[in-house]
Amino acid sequence: MEYSLKSFEEYFAQSEVIRMNHYHVDGRLKHVMLSHQFSIQLLEELFDIADRVKEMTRKTNGIEFLKSLLGHKKAMLYFTQPSTRTFLSFLTACQMVGMDTGEVRDPSLSSEYKGESQEDGVRVFSSYFDIIIMRDPKPGFCEYMAYLLDNTGRSVPILNGGSGKDQHPTQALLDLYTIHRSFQQKDGIRKKRYAFVGDLLRGRAVRSSVMLLSQYKDIEMDFVAPSSFQIAEDLEKILHNQGVKINKTDKLESVLSKVDCIYMTRIQDEYDLTGESNNIDYSQFSLTTENVKKMKPSSIILHPLPRRNEISPNVDADPRAMYWRQLRNGVYIRAALLLYVFNVAHRLDEY
């Protein structure tokens, strides 16, 4: 798509650090665009809210109380790129805190079919809804929408549910929430060694989680990928500047016994331009019941899902396999985020 507004081009040409300032209002986060908008302090606050939400959903009166918190708010789910988990997880989170929802998933069934621009469509949503949760294949598109709305005088928060190869901030939240819960008795997220495996160049979940994790100074990261899909240069530079100790390799075996957490990813071949994924032997970047035996007993296995063959279904029964729990955690942390964005989390104390 052509970004039509010259002023947006100027806006987007500014550094991320400057753009990030626009997503906070009165010291609070308004638009959720980039994973590293979350400070460690805010993360811990959200983890605490999510824990309480999770606990409350175990009891009928807790479920009812949660539903009363945002019964007066409506959310628009605008997902123009395929999604199962993120869409359903946000939908479930909205329902959990009592929000009504609307959705557009197939633009051919909306007025976009009649030639309406996405910009005008999003302005319509902001007139009917109190928050827009969106996924789009174009990097930066959510930021563009947030910028546009902020300049229309009728702005509502936008949550980025995945923007191209670029960012997936709420995936990073649920990844770190799962790590936090898994290592609660062992210094939490800190003082750990993390391996990211697979298509690290084009996986936005990896990018967002690495950025968020990099705020913790006392961790190490291993990047295990075919050389053509290693982490992007800019990300490596950021990690270097932040003083995070990193190691790049294409040998999964070399890290298995050393890491505390292994984050598996699928090949993102929907972004192939010339079939560049075809020649990769992905079995070299896969977990089987055989090679997981080399992992530490206390380690954990994560995956944002969907998976292909990079984790054998036989590994699912291993107590270290956290990916099904990880997707359930996504609902609680997204519900926590909604409570935070609408500034009602303090009301949990009334329960």
Which residues contact ligand NCD (rule: CB under 6 A)?
Answer: 85-86, 162, 168, 171, 204-205, 265-266, 304-306
Torsion sign (Cα): 97, 98, 100, 103: positive
Task: Pick between residue 19 and residue 168 the one whose CB is nearest to ligand NCD.
Answer: 168
Q: Give me the helices (H) in the chain, please.
A: 6-13, 16-21, 40-56, 60-69, 85-96, 118-128, 141-150, 169-182, 204-213, 233-241, 253-256, 323-341
Sign of CA dihedral 22, 28, 29, 30: negative
For residues 304-329, b (16+ Cβ closer than 10 Å) or e, as one string? bbebeebbeeebeeeebbbbeebbeb
And the tokens for 235?
């990300």
- 293 is an active site residue: no
Q: Which is nearer to ligand NCD, 321 or 345 (CB)?
A: 321
Q: How far is the CB of 270 from ligand NCD (least distance, A)?
A: 9
Which tokens belong to 224? 């295990």
Nearest approach, Cβ of 183 to ligand NCD (angstroms)?
Answer: 21
Smallest gap from Cβ 135 to ligand NCD, in A, equals 8
CB of 17 to ligand NCD, least distance (A): 24
Residues in contact with 19: Cβ distance below 8 Å, sequence separation at least 6, in sequence order: 11, 12, 33, 143
Q: By C-beta, is 3 or 271 nearer to ligand NCD? A: 271
Considering the candidates 22, 85, 123, 325, report the single residue annotated as catalytic.
Answer: 85
- Provide the 8-state DSSP code for 273: S
Question: Two tokens at 156?
Answer: 């509502």
Q: What token pair was written down for 265?
A: 């990813």
Question: Pick the catalytic residue: 36, 52, 168, 202?
Answer: 168
Is the Cβ of residue 126 or residue 326 nearer to ligand NCD in the bound state? Answer: 326
Q: Which of 114, 154, 251, 346 is catalytic?
A: 114
> Annotated catalytic, 86?
yes
Pick between residue 157 and residue 169 the one whose CB is nearest to ligand NCD: 169
Burial class (CB in 10 A: 0-12, 13-18, 19+), 127: exposed
Active site residue 168: yes
Closest contact distance (angstroms) between CB of 205 and ligand NCD is 5
- For the annotated catalytic residues, the residue numbers are 85-86, 114, 135, 168
